[in-house]
Each structure stands twice: as structure tokens, then as C-alpha cells.
Amino acid sequence: MAAWPTTYWKDFSSTCHAIDLGPKGSLTATCSALNGTQFESRLELSQCYVNRDGNLSPLKSGDAFADCGGCLSWLDPNVSNHEMSTACPGSGKVYITYTDLDTTIYNRNGLLGCFGVESQTILGDVQTIKKIGNMSKSVSNMASSTKSKPTNSS
């Protein structure tokens, strides 16, 4: 397991995996809590960045992705799982910029966050949920393989 970050303001990617970014700045990841539990959460990056004339800058509640003319975003798998590419309008043009999310986004006990804004939990304790799902499948398989056979009562 990766070392827990010493500060909340960087390196979320060292304790999170399955990192995904929606086109309108919705960051989703599965992150480790201090006790090793895994949580899947989603953070709206409009809470963390502002569009300043085509360039993204960290700012609490900056609304960079909020309006129709907002930025579009994507993760480039050839670069890293924490560098966001964006196409943002500014001065009558669209600018392509690159932002290292690790400098602003943090993992706070399994939840993504920025500037004190916490993410929404999508799935709590991912490991337990997977175990319960596997147990349910096992029980269903056992039930279907032990169907009651009719008895002959003559």
C-alpha cells in the first residue's frame, strides 16, 4: 500500500486507483482510508478550479466546468493518471491546458477533496461490498444446485 500523504493538498493518486474523469470535470476514484478500507467517491472539479481566460487555476468553488461555455476535460493515459487535459474558452479562442491534479486534489480518509470540499461517496467500503456480492452469488449457486427432488410416496 502506498504511503499516506503528509498533507491533504497533493498526491491523491498515490493512495487512489481506478481514477476516471468525466468530460465536464467529474473526478471519480477508489481511495484508501487510514484503516485500509476502500471507498469510491466522486468530486466535481468545478469546486476546485476556475477558468481564467482559458487557463485553469486552483480556486475553491471556481465553477470552471459549470456553464455551457465551460471547460472540457480528459485524462491522457499516455501521460499519467493524474494529469488533466482541458479545452477551455478564453479571449475568443479555445485553449488546451494541462493540470496536475495531485497539486490540488487530496485523499482524506478515502474521500477525494479540495480546499475543504469533500466528495460524494458512491460506494462505501468497496471490499466489503464485493465480498457480499460474491457471497450472494455463492448462495444462489448452492440453492440452484440443491433443488429439491420429488419423492415417490407410493
What are 72's strand-pairing partners?
87
DSSP state of 24: T
Tell me the C-alpha distance between 138 and 13, whole Å: 34
Which distant-in-sequence residues (6+ apart) come within 8 Å of 139 by Cβ? none
In this predicted model, what pLDDT tens digit does every residue of 95-138 receive, in sequence order? Answer: 888 889 999 999 998 999 999 888 877 877 665 555 444 444 44
In contact, 62 and 71? CB cutoff 8 Å: no
Q: Provide the grid cell at 92.
A: 475568443
DSSP per position, 45-114? GGGTEEEETTEEEE-TT--TTTSTT--EEEE-TTT-SSEEEEEEEETTEEEEEEEEGGGT-EEETTEEEE
Model-wide pTM > 0.85: no
Domain ranges of the chain: 12-134
In this predicted model, what pLDDT tens digit does every residue of 37-83 receive, in sequence order? Answer: 899 999 999 999 999 988 889 999 999 887 655 667 777 766 677 88
In this predicted model, what pLDDT tens digit does every residue of 11-47 receive, in sequence order? Answer: 899 999 999 888 778 899 999 988 888 999 999 999 9
- Report the topology of domain 12-134: HIV-inactivating Protein, Cyanovirin-n (2.30.60)
Q: Provide the grid cell at 106.
A: 487530496
Tell me the C-alpha distance between 13 and 63, whole Å: 23
Q: What pLDDT sits at residue 30?
A: 94
Q: Provide the grid cell at 138.
A: 455463492
Q: Residue 123 — φ and ψ, nearest 5°?
A: -130, 125
DSSP state of 7: S
